[in-house]
């Protein structure tokens, strides 16, 4: 699986959009980009994933550059409950046994009142 | 109702002891996982089971023995506990072993070896 690079920490004002970047310059054509987050002392929580197109769900939006070498997770209106470590993960899918996730160091997002 | 549950939530024990952590999922998923999160917060896959069969073992010492009595349960037994085994252990599940399945994680078990 490709390696990802994320800033170690970011701050965001409550109510503003939080934009979390991720670099994955060695991503392969069949690797998806996944985002999970881990709120303190809890298990990781799935947020969103995508391959090439931008994706949006009730939690966030995922913007993937055209060359797929980087992506941005957008939390449109950050709340205090969004304070967490956010992990960007790329992985191959469609292969039996390849569903394991490799977590990096992530970005610690702190939402400030 | 909790989708993925783990027991116990906290486990404190002495070096050399044998202990087990239990995991159950009520999602009807076929595949379950164990992850270890160490003191530096790195989260690493340990094992993956699909329909009670081991499909991934990420070079974990053989003191760790997962057991899956049925596809809803994946327990982790650890023999001869060492100080370095202290960590938070997370169980997870997915509908299948491939594809773009979302992983659902349990709340974690914090193991402290003294």
Side by side, which strands form the sheet with B19-25?
A: B4-7, B19-25, B73-78, B64-70
pLDDT at site A91: 77
Judged by CB atoms closer than 8 Å, whether chains meet at A99 and B105 is answered as no
Residue B72 pLDDT grade (very low, low, confident, very high; cuts 50, 70, 90): very high
Among A27-41, A85-99, B89-103, the range scoring the smallest mean pLDDT is A85-99
Judged by CB atoms closer than 8 Å, whether chains meet at A99 and B94 is answered as yes
* Chain B interface residues (partner A, CB cutoff 8 A): 4, 31, 33, 41-45, 48, 50, 55-56, 58, 90, 92, 94, 96-108
Show Cβ contacts of residue A59 under 8 Å, excluding neighbours closer than 6 positions.
A47, A48, A75
pLDDT at site A98: 47
pLDDT at site A1: 56
Cis peptide leading into residue B112 (ω within 30°) = no
Select the residue of A41, A49, A97 nearest B56 (Cβ to Cβ): A97
A57 touches chain B (CB under 8 A): no
Residue B42 pLDDT grade (very low, low, confident, very high; cuts 50, 70, 90): confident
Instruction: Work out the angle at residue A87's Cα, subtended by the Cα atoms of residues A16 and B25, and round it to the nearest 5 degrees.
Output: 110
pLDDT at site B95: 84
Chain B positions in Cβ-Cβ contact with residue A41 (cut-off 8 Å): 108
- The closest of A28, A8, A12 to A81, measured between CA atoms, is A12
Report whether pLDDT(B90) > 90: yes
Select the residue of A32, A44, A49 nearest B43 (Cβ to Cβ): A44
Report whether pLDDT(B112) > 70: yes
More confident residue, B26 or A90: B26
Counting residues of chain A whose pLDDT is more than 90, the rounded percentage is 72
Report whether pLDDT(B8) > 90: yes
- How many beta-carbon pairs under 8 angstroms link A with B? 68
pLDDT at site A100: 62
Counting residues of chain A whose pLDDT is more than 70, the rounded percentage is 90
More confident residue, A98 or A90: A90
Nearest-Cα distance to chain B for A63, in Å, is 18
Looking at residues A4-12, what average pLDDT do you find?
A: 95
DSSP state of A26: T
Nearest-Cα distance to chain A for B35, in Å, is 9
pLDDT at site A94: 47
């Amino acid at each position: 699986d490709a390696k990802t690079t994320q800033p170690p920490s970011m701050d965001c004002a409550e109510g503003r959009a939080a934009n979390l970047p991720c670099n994955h310059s060695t991503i392969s054509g069949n690797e998806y980009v996944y985002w999970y987050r881990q709120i303190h002392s809890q298990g990781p929580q799935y947020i969103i994933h995508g391959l090439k197109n931008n994706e949006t769900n009730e939690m966030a939006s995922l913007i993937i550059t055209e060359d797929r070498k980087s992506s941005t997770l957008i939390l449109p209106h950050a709340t205090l409950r969004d304070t967490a470590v956010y992990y960007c993960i790329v992985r191959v899918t469609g292969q039996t046994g390849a569903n394991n996730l490799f977590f990096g160091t992530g970005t610690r997002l702190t939402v400030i009142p | 109702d909790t989708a993925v549950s783990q027991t116990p939530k906290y486990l404190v024990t002495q070096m050399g002891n044998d202990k087990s952590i239990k995991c159950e999922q009520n999602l009807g998923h076929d595949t379950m996982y164990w992850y270890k999160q160490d003191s530096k917060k790195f989260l690493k896959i340990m094992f993956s089971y699909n329909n009670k069969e081991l499909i991934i073992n990420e070079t974990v010492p053989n003191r760790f023995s997962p057991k899956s009595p049925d596809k809803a349960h994946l327990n982790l037994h650890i023999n001869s506990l060492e100080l370095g085994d202290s960590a938070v252990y997370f169980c997870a599940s997915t509908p299948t072993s491939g594809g773009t399945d979302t992983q659902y994680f349990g709340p974690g078990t914090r193991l402290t070896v003294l």
